[in-house]
């Protein structure tokens, strides 16, 4: 009766979730990520068999685990990429709180698995590295604080984010894990620069990082040993860096052949930190360049799409996620060719590891959610209107 008198209420036509997600997602970036995961499984077939043999396990034990964790990572990535920016913010803040609490408990309940750095919780059937899950949540939280500080009467978000950054770096230095600490500082610095940081403050932060590196060198035998090994002109061929450098040289342009590489039998971390050495030896420079191109495509396409974004939170958070993903890959490959000191950092979505691959899936899912196409004007339109 009401409809006869007043007419029916207009209903907004809503597009189903999956078609809308498929229409707005960056398909090129998603394809590159899935190809990286496929390459990781391919390299795992070669790199992890010697480790399984040494440990008395089935030859493809670690490959099966990598496929399982990788499948979980892909599901997490696709599910997260369907979320709205507000939901990503809530997920990131909650995830940060949980990961930070776990990070604070590491000195008491953590283990080092004989590697000299207390970074993991041992669960018996698996291990968890809290710092891997901390990174995406940290980026989201800092982006939210910095974006809120730009509002009228907003909180001092930049100052709060800097205090949070120093606290996290302190906990990571206690492990010690200076590689992840440097990655956290880099992500914060990139977002802070984009948010409009004065150059004098950036210079002060760089000086603080230099002072911290000197302090770490003088106070941490673990850190000093890695720096000394990196700076020495004579590379010991029996070290991990020596084996990796020799494998890369042996691989040449096209590699020695599938399954013919020898570095996987010598390197204890061939399936994690030095997976790129296995790729270079067996498949040559061709595959290495393809891997670099895949990482570069994801980062560059994401940054270009974020340049058109009007929401400062999305722009800051997406940039931080893209940079932390790309720089971690650059650090891992830089260590293998001795451009950087050893960091103990995995190659995202390629190296073996439950925590690292699942955390990378969450990170990339958030990035894909931020870079989805949205019905909005170009940011250039706003700048053009202000100029008239």
**What letter would DSSP give residue 128?**
E
Model confidence at 255, in pLDDT bands (50, 70, 90)? confident
- In the block, tokens 């710092």 appear at 131
- CB-CB neighbours of 107 under 10 Å: 11
- Tell me the DSSP string of 146-210: HHHHTSTT---HHHHHHHHHHHHHHHHHHTT-HHHHHHHHHHHHHHHHHTT--HHHHHHHHHHHH
Q: Write out pLDDT tens, residues 127-171.
A: 888 999 999 999 999 999 999 988 878 788 888 998 999 999 988
Residue 29 has pLDDT above 70, yes or no: yes
Q: Write out pLDDT tens, residues 309-352.
A: 889 999 999 999 999 999 999 998 988 887 887 777 888 988 88
Give the percent of the chain with pLDDT over 70.
87
**What pLDDT was estimated at residue 234?**
62
Model confidence at 1, in pLDDT bands (50, 70, 90)? very low
Q: Write out pLDDT tens, residues 224-239.
A: 766 766 666 666 566 7
The pTM of the full predicted model, rounded to 2 decimals, is: 0.86
Q: Write out pLDDT tens, residues 279-316.
A: 888 898 999 999 999 999 999 999 999 998 889 999 99
**What pLDDT was estimated at residue 8?**
43
**What pLDDT was estimated at residue 380?**
52
Comparison of pLDDT for 230 and 261, the residue scoring more: 261
- In the block, tokens 């919780």 appear at 121
Burial of 355 (0-12, 13-18, 19+ CB in 10 A): buried
Model confidence at 15, in pLDDT bands (50, 70, 90)? confident
Comparison of pLDDT for 361 and 253, the residue scoring more: 361
Cβ contact 369:80 at 8 Å: yes
Cβ contact 139:320 at 8 Å: yes
d(Cα 318, Cα 191) in Å, to the nearest integer? 9
Residue 181 has pLDDT above 70, yes or no: yes
Comparison of pLDDT for 125 and 107, the residue scoring more: 107
- In the block, tokens 């059937």 appear at 125
Where helices occur in the chain by DSSP H, the ranges are: 2-6, 17-24, 27-47, 49-54, 61-81, 85-109, 130-149, 157-174, 178-194, 199-219, 221-231, 240-251, 263-266, 275-307, 312-336, 354-370, 379-387
d(Cα 229, Cα 224) in Å, to the nearest integer? 8
**What pLDDT was estimated at residue 223?**
67
Closest-CA residue to 302 (of 117, 61, 139): 139
């Amino acid at each position: 009766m009401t409809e006869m008198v007043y007419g029916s209420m207009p209903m907004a036509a809503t597009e189903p979730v999956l078609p809308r997600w498929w229409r707005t997602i960056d398909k090129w970036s998603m394809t590159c990520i899935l190809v990286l995961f496929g390459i990781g499984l391919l390299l795992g077939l070669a790199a992890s068999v010697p480790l399984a043999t040494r440990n008395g396990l089935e030859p493809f034990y670690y490959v099966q685990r990598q496929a399982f964790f990788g499948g979980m990572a892909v599901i997490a990535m696709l599910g997260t990429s369907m979320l709205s920016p507000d939901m990503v913010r809530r997920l990131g803040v909650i995830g940060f709180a949980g990961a930070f609490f776990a990070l604070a408990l590491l000195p008491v309940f953590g283990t080092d698995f004989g590697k000299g750095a207390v970074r993991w919780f041992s669960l018996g059937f698996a291990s968890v590295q809290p710092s891997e899950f901390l990174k995406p949540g940290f980026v989201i939280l800092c982006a939210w604080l910095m974006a809120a500080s730009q509002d009228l009467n907003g909180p001092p978000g930049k100052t709060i984010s800097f205090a949070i950054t120093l606290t996290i770096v302190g906990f990571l230095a206690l492990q010690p894990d200076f590689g992840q600490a440097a990655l956290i500082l880099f992500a914060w610095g990139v977002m802070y620069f984009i948010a409009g940081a004065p150059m004098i403050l950036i210079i002060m932060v760089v000086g603080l990082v230099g002072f911290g590196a000197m302090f770490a060198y003088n106070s941490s035998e673990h850190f000093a040993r890695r720096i000394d090994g990196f700076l020495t002109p004579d590379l010991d061929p029996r070290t991990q860096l020596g084996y990796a450098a020799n494998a890369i040289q042996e691989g040449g342009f096209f590699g020695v052949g599938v399954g013919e590489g020898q570095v996987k039998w010598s390197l204890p971390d061939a399936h994690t930190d030095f997976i790129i050495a296995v790729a270079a030896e067996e498949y040559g420079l061709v595959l290495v360049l393809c891997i670099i191109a895949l990482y570069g495509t994801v980062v560059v396409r994401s940054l270009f799409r974020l340049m058109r974004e009007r929401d400062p939170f999305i722009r800051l958070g997406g940039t931080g996620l893209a940079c932390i993903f790309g720089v971690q890959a650059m650090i891992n490959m830089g260590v293998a060719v001795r451009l950087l000191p050893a960091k103990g950092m995995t190659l995202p979505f390629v190296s073996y590891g439950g925590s690292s691959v699942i955390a990378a899936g969450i990170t990339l899912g958030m990035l894909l959610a931020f870079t989805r196409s949205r019905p909005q004007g170009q940011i250039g339109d706003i700048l053009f209107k202000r100029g008239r």
